[in-house]
Amino acid sequence: MNIIILGAGRVGESVAESLVSEQNDITVIDPDPERLHLLEDRLELRGVVGNGIQPSVLRHAGAQDADMFVACSTLDETNLVACKVAHDVFSIPTTIARIRSPEFLQGEELLEPGGFAVNKVICPEASVTRYIHQLIEYPEALQVLTFSQGQAYLLAVRVAAGSQLAGRTISEFSAHAPDVAMRVVAVYRREQETPCEAGTRVLPGDEVFVVVDRQHVRAALHAVANVSEPVRRVMIAGGGRVGLRLARSLVGKCEVKLIETDRRRCEYLAEELPSSMLVLHGDASDEELLMGENVGDMDLFVALTSDDEDNIMAAMLAKRLGARRVMALINRRAYADMMQGSAIDIAVSPSQAVIGELLTHVRRGAVAAVHSLRRGAAEALEGVAHGDPKTSQLVGRRIEQLHLPAGARVGAIVRAVDGAARALMPHHDMLIESGDHIVIYLPHKRLVREVERLFQVKATFL
């Protein structure tokens, strides 16, 4: 696929890195030649220096042959205008814009073809807030992702000593908890994937990926990680867009303290948030401040400033001072890989929070949802089976008959039963029907193309 990306900032760079790894033809437009040179040296892509809203620059970038245009510059207005030019002048089929302002929401008339012609709106700040909010709702999990409008969940969980799964094989665990509709699709031990088979014995400390019906999420987490106390007290470091969004989402749910270094921003936050939330002026890496505000009593400490190093230091300090769980917003992938699971419980990457939204448009076939896992190395994909046994490689076939690439596993099948969608845990002899939503775990992104082809309906299939 030929893809043009406008903006070589942190989001644009992360998007380019993810899409290049899938052998797409990527061109990045940015006014900063030095930044583009660094990208070209590191990734297999082409850089074009210039203003991305100018038709001449887009033409030089190959817009006349592009399949997708992703506008993720720092300014909403630039992204909106660029999408309009890409659609109207070059007829690019898919346009995606990063928009921070809540005034432009998906489905708004202004974003229709007669307006700014934006097919998909992405907002990293909103995506990160949703991501963190899920982890607050399910504090036992390392990652919480949903499929089929929330009918199926994929959970990444650290196996706790003394849990029902610890020390058992996967088949023993399934027999021990027959009433919990869940399926283990991957096991990682010391950052290395372990074969996920019926006889695989899961040890305390292993990271497992579990697909579960939405009604059994709590039961699955209890079986794998034991029950954690609910999150009631939250301290947020950083009152920027993400910090403010998160604080607003927790109104009436948690006791919140927010620390911000800029005094004027503090005044603005105090006006925007209810009086029950305490806004503090200070540095979140100040040990005296954290101790004075009883950080050791916090169920969750979240570092959300714009500086990776500050977030890492503040989160590590909060953990040392007794915070039960800490998260840090980390943009640099190398930092995120290094800190995840160390003194910092969860490293949150803005780019990984939104990349799935983009990948859904890149995927071929009837792909309904995509989620990036393990910092982009793995993936979970939801596709829809269409056609009949003659035109489909899925419909009318049992799970054991599917030609999945080595390592790929079916996690769940979401099917309409008695007029309501239900997530069914797959068995080897389960027959796939037309209209089924199939959730598949892929341990490596290189397997994506093979799986995509399974969902493509052909005129004739032999």
Q: Residue 462: its pLDDT value, please?
A: 43
DSSP per-residue string spanning 170-223: HHHHHHH-TTS-EEEEEEEETTEEE---TTPBP-TT-EEEEEEEGGGHHHHHHH
- Residue 252 corresponds to which amino acid? G
Q: Rounded to the nearest 5°, which phi and psi values hold at 102?
A: -75, -5
What digits encode the pLDDT tens for the residues 215-272? 889 989 988 987 778 999 999 999 999 999 999 999 999 999 999 999 999 999 999 9
Q: Residue 106: its pLDDT value, please?
A: 72
What digits encode the pLDDT tens for the residues 304-321? 999 999 999 999 999 999
Q: Which CATH class is domain 354-454?
A: alpha beta
* Residue 20 or residue 409, greater confidence: 409
CB 188 within 8 Å of CB 207 = yes
Tokens of 317: 């300090």
Q: Residue 461: its pLDDT value, please?
A: 42
Q: What is the band of 208 on the pLDDT scale with cuts at 50, 70, 90?
A: very high
Taking residue 333's Cβ as centre, other Cβ atoms within 10 Å add up to: 17
The region of weakest confidence among 53-62, 284-293, 336-345, 357-366 is 357-366
Contacts of 301 (CB under 8 A, 6+ apart): 234, 235, 237, 295, 314, 315, 318, 319, 323, 325, 326, 327
Indicate if the alpha-carbon torsion angle 177, 178, 183, 188 is positive or negative: positive
Contacts of 248 (CB under 8 A, 6+ apart): 272, 273
CB 348 within 8 Å of CB 327 = yes
pLDDT at 340 over 70: no
Looking at the DSSP assignment, which residues form a beta bridge with residue 334?
Answer: none
**Whole-number Å distance between alpha carbons of 68 and 118:** 11
* Residue 12 or residue 287, greater confidence: 287
Best CA proximity match to 461, nearest among 375, 383, 374, 403: 403
* 128-225 and 354-454: identical CATH topology: yes
**Whole-number Å distance between alpha carbons of 228 and 231:** 9
Q: What is the band of 459 on the pLDDT scale with cuts at 50, 70, 90?
A: low
Q: Residue 445: its pLDDT value, please?
A: 80
User: What would the mean pLDDT of 189-202 be, rounded to a whole number?
Assistant: 89
CATH of 2-122, one of 1.20.120.140, 3.30.499.10, 3.40.50.720, 3.40.50.10860: 3.40.50.720
Best CA proximity match to 132, nearest among 226, 254, 286: 254
pLDDT > 90: what percent of the chain? Answer: 58
Contacts of 41 (CB under 8 A, 6+ apart): none
* Residue 298 or residue 361, greater confidence: 298
**Whole-number Å distance between alpha carbons of 233 and 136:** 10
CATH architecture of 128-225: 2-Layer Sandwich (3.30)
**Whole-number Å distance between alpha carbons of 462 and 262:** 66
pTM of the model: 0.82
Give the DSSP letter of residue 432.
Answer: P
Taking residue 285's Cβ as centre, other Cβ atoms within 10 Å add up to: 22
Best CA proximity match to 375, nearest among 361, 397, 356: 356
pLDDT at 352 over 80: no
Q: Residue 416: its pLDDT value, please?
A: 86
- Name the one residue in this structure whose structure tokens are 């990776």: 308
CB 402 within 8 Å of CB 452 = no
User: What would the mean pLDDT of 407-420 be, rounded to a whole number?
Assistant: 89
Instruction: Please say whether the structural domain 233-352 has been given the CATH code 3.50.50.60.
Output: no
CA 230-169-165 angle, to 5 degrees, is 10
Boundaries of every domain in the chain: 2-122, 128-225, 233-352, 354-454
What is the average pLDDT value for the chain, to the nearest integer?
89
Q: Residue 23: its pLDDT value, please?
A: 72
* Residue 265 or residue 336, greater confidence: 265
DSSP per-residue string spanning 386-421: -S-TTT-SSTT-BGGG--PPTT-EEEEEEEEETTEE
Q: What is the band of 50 on the pLDDT scale with cuts at 50, 70, 90?
A: very high
Helix (H) / strand (E) element for 137: namely: helix 124-137
Contacts of 401 (CB under 8 A, 6+ apart): none
* Residue 243 or residue 418, greater confidence: 243
